[in-house]
């Protein structure tokens, strides 16, 4: 017998739960589907919100051949084999096959490169699914040839509707006397993952005795789940909760908590690249100029942990987490870039001052590009009093040093150099 989540998988857009901004009436993706003009695209969203289901619905509705690969257990040869089959299926006016790549962010550069030709030549329509930001995980050449559609987490109401639909429509559950008194525990343990929610419902209902009426409440669900399912799920809500806890422990200067949540992630099977990237982000966002070596160590830990691999990589990551959690903290660089970006959105593309523009041609020199530029190394202390910001925002201060020994020294330098900024 198929799992409940598979039995309840929607077969058309009208049965599909959530993502109304994409597939609701008049929405962008629905229009593309209904006009049979779908581009190659990537679905980016948390686990269990219907990425795979949506790809299958599109294939069925458009009556196109459907080929699926999982990036976890597929290589370049698998990709090329699928493309060869797709080429044989795409001739004359036959519909273009769909190639679905689940967890496309796990594909290496060479694996992603192997997709480029087929996408560019129109041999296949690529649909990728990812839980990670495609900007970081998908090569730019492939990203430029695809649309990115962001899938939102399912709402509480949508998740409850999935439970109710399963009890009312599933060929097995609808025959059983089951009543849901409380939904909260099922929603909590599912972490917003629709597939996991139905797995939990199936697990709970398996404990029904004969034909006795089952009343599902939070206490019952909690007891059954804790006895049967590991609390950490690297692809569910805990994936993000643990990452958040690790970062906040570092920000809060608690090395014990940082190591604990690091261990939780490792024991849960988390990708060490995911962990390492979070450490690098924290090193810059939360420590920054208070200890610039933090980013260097985090970057080195990233490279070393990949080179060594688990289980030894846990030692490297632990050293990095402890180092970061015991470093002085500052978010001054983080605040500076946020302030600068905010001002750019308000003021637009202000002209670069003429004196600091590049002048590679005679015409540019005649237009005073580079004129009056002061070469800092020719001045005392390697500093020249020259304004670098555009005229309209001169004197604007973006970087405010934090209150820590390293940045207090920086503040003194800035006071001597840039009095106009009010340091």
CATH code of residue 286: 1.20.272.10
- Give, as one character, the DSSP assignment of residue 337: H
* Inside any domain, residue 12: no
What pLDDT was estimated at residue 320?
95
The neighbour count for residue 259, using CB atoms within 10 Å, is 19
What digits encode the pLDDT tens for the residues 211-245?
Answer: 778 888 888 888 887 766 544 444 444 666 788 88
What digits encode the pLDDT tens for the residues 205-219?
Answer: 888 776 778 888 888
pTM above 0.75, yes or no: no
Distance CA 372, CA 88 (A): 66
What pLDDT was estimated at residue 147?
86
What pLDDT was estimated at residue 238?
60
Sequence-separated (6 or more) residues with CB below 8 Å from residue 303: none
In 3D, which of 54, 51, 2 has the Cα closest to residue 166?
2
What pLDDT was estimated at residue 90?
67
- Give, as one character, the DSSP assignment of residue 176: S
Instruction: Tokens for 413, please give them.
Output: 């330098």
293 pLDDT exceeds 70?
yes
Chain center to CA of 146: 17
If asked whether residues 145 and 30 sit together in one domain, one would say: yes
What digits encode the pLDDT tens for the residues 371-388?
Answer: 778 888 888 888 878 778
What pLDDT was estimated at residue 93?
66
Per-residue pLDDT, averaged over 23-34, amounts to: 86
What pLDDT was estimated at residue 231?
44
Sequence-separated (6 or more) residues with CB below 8 Å from residue 315: none
What pLDDT was estimated at residue 234?
46
What pLDDT was estimated at residue 304?
94
Lay out the sheet containing 66-70: strands in order across.
66-70, 98-102, 125-130, 41-44, 147-150
Sequence-separated (6 or more) residues with CB below 8 Å from residue 102: 51, 52, 68, 69, 70, 71, 72, 129
* Integer CA distances (angstroms), 222 to 158, 160, 212, in order: 21, 17, 20
If asked whether residues 146 and 162 sit together in one domain, one would say: no
What digits encode the pLDDT tens for the residues 299-333?
Answer: 999 999 988 888 899 999 999 999 999 999 999 99
If asked whether residues 163 and 88 sit together in one domain, one would say: no
What pLDDT was estimated at residue 232?
40
69 pLDDT exceeds 90?
no
Per-residue pLDDT, averaged over 139-143, amounts to: 84
Domain region containing 305: 237-325
CATH code of residue 164: 1.10.8.60
* Inside any domain, residue 142: yes
If asked whether residues 301 and 253 sit together in one domain, one would say: yes
* Inside any domain, residue 336: no
* Inside any domain, residue 26: yes
The domain total for the chain is: 4
If asked whether residues 301 and 368 sit together in one domain, one would say: no
If asked whether residues 44 and 130 sit together in one domain, one would say: yes
- Given a contact cutoff of 8 angstroms between Cβ atoms, the answer to whether 91 and 60 are in contact is no
CB-hemisphere CA count at 13 Å for 354? 8
- Given a contact cutoff of 8 angstroms between Cβ atoms, the answer to whether 317 and 301 are in contact is yes
- Given a contact cutoff of 8 angstroms between Cβ atoms, the answer to whether 183 and 163 are in contact is yes
* Integer CA distances (angstroms), 188 to 109, 151, 267, 397, in order: 36, 20, 21, 45
Per-residue pLDDT, averaged over 58-75, amounts to: 82
What pLDDT was estimated at residue 230?
47
* Inside any domain, residue 339: no
Residue where one domain finishes, among candidates 228, 256, 285:
228
Of the pLDDT bands very low, low, confident and very high (cuts 50, 70, 90), residue 137 is confident
**Secondary structure of residue 149 in the 3-state scheme:** strand
Residue where one domain finishes, among candidates 150, 183, 215:
150
If asked whether residues 26 and 100 sit together in one domain, one would say: yes
What pLDDT was estimated at residue 315?
95
In 3D, which of 234, 224, 155, 214 has the Cα closest to residue 185?
224
If asked whether residues 140 and 164 sit together in one domain, one would say: no
Min mean pLDDT across 89-98, 124-133, 274-283, 376-385 is at 89-98
If asked whether residues 143 and 162 sit together in one domain, one would say: no
If asked whether residues 146 and 160 sit together in one domain, one would say: no
With b for 16 or more beta-carbon neighbours within 10 A and e for fewer, the 23-38 pattern comes to beeebebbebbeeeeb
* Inside any domain, residue 363: yes
Residue where one domain finishes, among candidates 290, 325, 360:
325
Of residues 294 and 86, which shows the higher confidence score?
A: 294
357 pLDDT exceeds 70?
yes
If asked whether residues 70 and 102 sit together in one domain, one would say: yes
248 pLDDT exceeds 70?
yes
* Inside any domain, residue 358: yes
CATH code of residue 131: 3.40.50.300
If asked whether residues 172 and 80 sit together in one domain, one would say: no
344 pLDDT exceeds 80?
yes
* Inside any domain, residue 330: no
Mean pLDDT, the chain, as a whole number?
Answer: 84
């Amino acid at each position: 017998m198929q799992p409940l989540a598979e039995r309840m998988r929607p077969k058309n857009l009208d049965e599909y739960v959530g993502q109304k901004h994409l597939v609701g009436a008049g929405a962008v993706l629905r229009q593309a589907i209904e006009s049979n003009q779908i581009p190659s695209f990537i679905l980016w969203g948390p686990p269990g919100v219907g990425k795979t289901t949506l790809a299958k619905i599109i294939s069925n509705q458009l009556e196109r051949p459907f080929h699926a690969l999982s990036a976890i257990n597929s290589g370049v040869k698998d990709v090329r084999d699928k493309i060869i089959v797709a080429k044989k299926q795409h001739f004359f006016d036959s519909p273009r096959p769909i190639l679905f790549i689940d967890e496309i962010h796990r594909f290496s550069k060479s694996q992603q490169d192997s997709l480029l030709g087929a996408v560019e030549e129109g041999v296949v329509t690529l649909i990728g699914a990812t839980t990670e930001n495609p900007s970081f995980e998908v090569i730019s050449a492939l990203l430029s040839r695809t649309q990115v559609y962001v899938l939102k987490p399912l709402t509480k109401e949508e998740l409850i509707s999935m439970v109710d639909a399963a009890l009312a429509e599933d060929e097995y559950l609808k025959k059983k006397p089951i009543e849901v008194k409380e939904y909260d525990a099922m929603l909590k343990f599912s972490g917003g993952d629709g597939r996991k929610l139905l797995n939990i419902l199936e697990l709970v209902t398996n404990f029904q005795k004969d034909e006795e009426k089952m009343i599902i409440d939070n206490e019952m669900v909690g007891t059954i789940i804790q006895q049967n399912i590991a609390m950490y799920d690297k692809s569910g809500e805990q994936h993000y909760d643990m990452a958040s806890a690790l970062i906040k422990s570092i920000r809060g200067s608690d090395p014990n908590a940082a190591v604990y949540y690091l261990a939780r992630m490792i024991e849960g099977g988390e990708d060490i690249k995911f962990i390492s990237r979070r450490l690098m982000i924290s090193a810059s966002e939360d420590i920054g100029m208070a200890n610039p070596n933090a980013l260097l160590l985090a970057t080195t830990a990233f490279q070393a942990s990949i080179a060594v691999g688990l289980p030894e990589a846990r030692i490297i990551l632990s050293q990095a987490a402890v180092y970061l959690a015991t470093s002085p903290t500052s978010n001054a660089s983080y605040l500076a870039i946020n302030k600068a970006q905010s001002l750019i959105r308000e003021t637009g593309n202000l002209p670069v001052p003429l004196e600091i523009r590049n002048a590679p041609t005679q015409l540019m020199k005649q237009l005073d590009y580079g004129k009056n530029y002061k070469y800092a190394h020719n001045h005392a202390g390697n500093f020249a009093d020259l304004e670098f910001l555009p005229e309209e925002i001169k004197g604007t201060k973006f970087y405010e040093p934090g209150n820590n020994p390293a940045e207090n020294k920086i503040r003194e330098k800035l006071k001597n150099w840039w009095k106009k900024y009010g340091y």
